[in-house]
Homo-oligomer: A and B are copies of this chain.
């Protein structure tokens, strides 16, 4: 049975259950950033997914990219480049990061993973970002 690793709950807010993945907004106002966790038990690598689920994951990564752009638009930091990463060295449950980047953002041009400390959204800004993401995912 699928159970979300609590590590995700600590750093992100729920958005929606897509066909395959739980989509969550990372609570880090430095970047518009969605994490997708396939709702399947005991999956660590992409190769562990069925062929159909791999295709769903690819579709949902593209959907999350559109949602990340929407979050960027409402938070005044238009996305110039999408970064996608499936790493999992620390939290092995398979997950895909979809991050909106812009020249001059705090880590640019380096990857965001492991870069400094998260800057939490203010409550109202988090709600605005969630609503923009949800509208784009619908």
A: residues with CB less than 8 A from B are 44-47, 54-55, 57-59, 61-62, 65-66, 81-90, 92, 101, 108-111, 113-114
| Chain B residue, CB-CB nearest to A69 | B47
With beta carbons under 8 angstroms apart, the residue of B47, B58, B83, B101 that contacts A65 is B47
Copies of this subunit: 2
8 contacts between A and B (CB under 8 A): A46-B61, A46-B82, A47-B65, A54-B59, A81-B92, A83-B87, A84-B86, A111-B111
Cα-based distance from A9 to B90 in the complex (angstroms): 32
Instruction: List 8 extra interface pairs beyond A84-B85, A111-B113, CB under 8 A.
Output: A45-B65, A45-B81, A46-B62, A82-B86, A83-B88, A84-B86, A84-B87, A89-B109
Cα-based distance from A59 to B114 in the complex (angstroms): 28
B87, A85: Cβ atoms closer than 8 Å: yes
| Chain B residue, CB-CB nearest to A102 | B89
B62, A54: Cβ atoms closer than 8 Å: yes
Chain B neighbourhood of A84, CB < 8 A: 46, 84-87
- In this complex, the member of A101, A113, A114 whose beta carbon has the largest number of chain B beta carbons within 10 angstroms is A113
